[in-house]
Structure 1
Amino acid sequence: MKETVAVLGGGHGAHAMAVDLTSRGFSVNLFEMPEFSDGMREVFETRTIHSSGMINGSFRLNKVTSDIGEAIDGVRYILVVTPAFAHDAYTRLLRGRVTGDQVIVVYPGAFAGLLFRTAFGDRDCPVVAEVNNLPYDTRLEAPCRVVIHGFNPVNIAFLPAEKGAGLIDDMRAIHPYEKVYSDVLEAGLSIVNPGVHAGPCLLSVTAIENSAKRPFFLYEHGVTPGSCRINIQVDNERKEIGRRLGYRLTPIEDFTGLDEGYTWQELYMSIHGNISLTPIAGPHTVSSRYFTEDAPYGLVPWSIIGKAIGVATPVIDSIINIYNVVNERDWWAEGRTRDDLGLDGLSPEEIRSYVRTGKRG
């Protein structure tokens, strides 16, 4: 039996991760917030998740609990597997409860390393690692039942970055992280989903809103030549931000296996018809995380960082502004900001020093 890990979250990603790790011999403590635990009553009662697809079987967990102390007691790795909008709540929940020898790993990160450190403070914050994507293409089919359509390659970063070398070898037992980013800023700029979803979602709003009448599958119906052209522009803008900060960003290439300088035709062929992606239904509403996570926690911080270092992001900004209208929300105000991430008043050089050492000034 391998070591015990805590998986925090009750969605499809957390269920898939609990199944995957249990299938490989880990002892898993699954945690869900008390206010959402009614939707997982069967999992709480049976401690068992049934999986189909890439992993088949029924897997019994070590614990299923809504007591955070019980979930993380005695574990070294605390895996936060939630949409980015839940990160604030988890920083408050974990603050003062996590010890210095524990490691928080966030899937997907969305600049969560900086967020946790701002909330915890430099002195009390443990090492926080963030991953650029969920390791699974997965959906919950029913309570206790998850289907795993495929596996995604994932990369990781650490805050402080200088702590990563001493952790990564042990952590590859959890996932075979393909790349260790230089720091969490590079990881946040390398989040996959906003760069993949932006064009197809933007051009499919009416189809998504009519999906009760006509089934909608984003990767089958939404990935079109036009949406791929938009995605390339989004990717180019965030790559320019990376270049100004000294990073060579290749998130879409890492996800698709394409070479740098890929064309919209190549992007289209790599996603449209992909056997792991096309069976995934939805989104079925513009309130989906494809909008409400990708915009405020991906596109918005990319734009803010770009403005801070003098890189224009006209296509990214246009998508955010249209989403503001579609969602009747102000994602500029609700998303990640320099204040949220503790970057206010820091120069680009000071930001790079901070993510390397975990110390300001």
Structure 2
Amino acid sequence: MSRATFAANDAEQSETTHDAGRAIDVWVDLASPSHPFFFKALTDSLTNVKTTVTVREKTETVPLARQVGYEFQTLGKDYENPHLRKLGIPLRTAQLAVKAPKADVALSSRNAMCVLAAKARGMPSIHFTDNDICAYVDGLKAEELYHRLEAQATHNVVPEAFQSEVLTERGADPDSVHTYSGYKEDVYVAAFDPDPTFLDELPFDSEEFIVVRPEALSATYVDANGSLVPDILAGAVERGVNVVYLPREENDRSFADGLPAERIYIPDNPLSGLELSWHARCVLTGSGTMAREAARMETPAVSFFPSTRISVDRALIDAGEIFHSRDAEDILDYVTSISDRDAHPDRTRARRVRREVADLTADLLNERVN
């Protein structure tokens, strides 16, 4: 398993602080697999803070929190059964309200559990989000309520591309909404330190490859009759393109049936998505996160997401940073048109955004403590 590494002393790291003499006690709650990378990069950019971390058991969230170097307490879990999942959220909220650490401020991302627990303890909260769509399926009252509760944080921090009125419609005070230029992926892309030996883990004779990740067809926010992946994989083989294929679910593996293993590589163990994005010729995904990660490190990115796209994805597509299509041939034509100059990653822009987000966070921390 390849590990994404983060620069501990980045020369461009923000030197943020606050006026008080003592350190600010910050509680960070990690509820999903993307959170460890984001919050580790953010908290490492802040000075004079003391961080205490809690983690929910959800897919790889716990091992990823350990991988980035956090010490933490595990509280609550996510359940695969949809009925148990509805019970798991209020149960974990109650656990956090009782067992969460004492702190000056709570930090979370897309996490109503932490926001509510902080309120119950009289603690201000800073909430980061970039998702302005609840779900594709109408009538999911529980999910709508969850997003409305997220918006009740003391402060909501969102990208400029985010439709801020969504938060106010969910009950947020307009003065609680703060924006930054860039995207949340910039924060941890900026802190990423690529491993020059990563390519040794791949079986291809050539160093050139693309990454393919399927749509999340079972998710409530996806409306699709089927996947484009079988056609994309078959077309890549026909064009002599190497593919690192990352199935979401066991059934997704069948999309590669009958295709040559020397062209389509399915890793036995998880590989770092950031390493893949850094070294790939192009990243193709049926969801948003990997496309945004690749785009913000200036690696060519393709989205074949089948449903209504959140505002940050629309902004990146409109800016030409992500190519979007639901036509496999168009996607493969785009992939083969990529030049060596196009496939040249860089983190300079992401570092500027991370400094801005760190400075904004520090200002909000100061406001709550001083």
Q: Could you state the TM-score of these two structures normalised by the residue count of structure 1?
A: 0.35
**Which structure shows the higher helix fraction?**
1
Q: Could you state the TM-score of these two structures normalised by the residue count of structure 2?
A: 0.35
Larger Rg: 2
